[in-house]
């Protein structure tokens, strides 16, 4: 189903194996960079086991916390204390106990509206990067974590919405969500997300079979259009894999 040049597909046995494989890839990207490291996190349910693993006693000692900066690919426009806040989930799971405060970069949501938040986060990313134009030879992120929604959205870039076509800005406000929770969002754009050495999708759960089938069949959805300028990997737990392509790989 996946043609040449498509993302690399890796199948894990279950959600626990998926989290382990994702953690291994996170550590490989950290190990490949002896300098300052930038990792862009994602929200949703798929990465929660990964975040818990990275914060566990057996893993947190492996991470050079003083060199890693943590960003987020999209955010729901709710207060940082709200349980719907994506970065709040990551902070509670592993960041607040381990990462220096100045190395955690949440999208601000107290600015009045999503467009202002987007502008503020773009400025923060550009200050970190040291330029206001992305250079294909110098990725913004070492690793970008991604997920795929039931409608094929990724980050907060929804199918058929104008934000998916943005190519100039790094971050945009999204006034309306296509899926619950129906709150405004702030999202990195496809070019900003693509500026990475690796884009790693985590796709888990039987309920993802339908959308994964559509993606594997090449449907022009945001989760298929999101590609790294480096390597793009789809890490899939077995239950999400369509029946016709299950089995040893």
pLDDT tens digits for 99-120? 999 999 999 999 889 999 999 9
Q: How far apart are the first and last CA of the chain?
A: 14
Kindly report the number of other CB atoms within 10 A of residue 239's CB atom.
Answer: 17
Instruction: Band the pLDDT of 245: cuts 50, 70, 90.
Output: low
Please report the pLDDT score of residue 112 as a whole number: 86
Instruction: Band the pLDDT of 249: cuts 50, 70, 90.
Output: very low
* Residue 144 φ/ψ, nearest 5 degrees: -120, 120
Please report the pLDDT score of residue 4 as a whole number: 37
Please report the pLDDT score of residue 111 as a whole number: 83
Reference 138, options 8, 214, 36; nearest CA is 36
Q: Which residues pair with 207 in a beta bridge?
A: none
Alpha carbon distance 104, 84 (integer Å):
18
Residue where the block lists tokens 């503020």: 120
Alpha carbon distance 235, 13 (integer Å):
11
Distances from the Cα of 28 to the Cαs of 40, 63, 100, in angstroms?
A: 15, 11, 21
Check whether 213 has a pLDDT greater than 50: yes
Distances from the Cα of 223 to the Cαs of 4, 103, 125, 168, 202, in angstroms?
A: 17, 28, 22, 19, 11
58-67 pLDDT, tens digit per residue, is 999 999 999 9
Q: How many residues does the chain have?
A: 249
59 with 91: CB under 8 angstroms?
Answer: no
Q: What is the mean pLDDT of residues 214-242?
A: 92
């Amino acid at each position: 189903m996946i043609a040449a040049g498509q993302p690399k597909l890796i199948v894990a046995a279950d959600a626990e194996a998926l989290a382990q494989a994702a953690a291994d890839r996170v550590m490989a990207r950290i190990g490949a960079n002896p300098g300052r490291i930038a990792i862009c996190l994602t929200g949703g349910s798929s990465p929660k086991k990964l975040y818990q693993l990275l914060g566990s006693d057996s893993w947190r000692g492996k991470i050079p916390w003083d060199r890693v900066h943590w960003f987020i690919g999209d955010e729901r426009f709710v207060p940082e204390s709200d349980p719907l806040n994506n970065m709040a989930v990551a902070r509670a799971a592993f960041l607040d106990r381990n990462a220096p405060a100045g190395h955690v970069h949440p999208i601000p949501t107290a600015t009045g509206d999503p467009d202002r938040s987007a502008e503020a986060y773009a400025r923060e990313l550009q200050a970190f990067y040291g330029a206001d134009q992305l250079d294909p030879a110098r990725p913004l992120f070492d690793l970008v974590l991604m997920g795929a929604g039931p409608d094929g959205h990724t980050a907060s870039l929804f199918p058929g919405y104008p934000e998916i076509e943005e190519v100039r800005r790094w971050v945009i406000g999204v006034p309306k969500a296509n899926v619950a929770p129906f709150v405004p969002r702030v999202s990195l754009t496809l070019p900003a997300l693509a500026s990475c050495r690796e884009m790693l999708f985590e796709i888990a759960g039987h309920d993802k079979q339908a959308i994964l089938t559509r993606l594997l069949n090449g449907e022009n959805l945001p989760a298929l259009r999101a590609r790294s300028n480096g390597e793009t990997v789809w890490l899939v737990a077995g239950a999400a894999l369509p029946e016709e392509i299950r089995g040893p790989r």
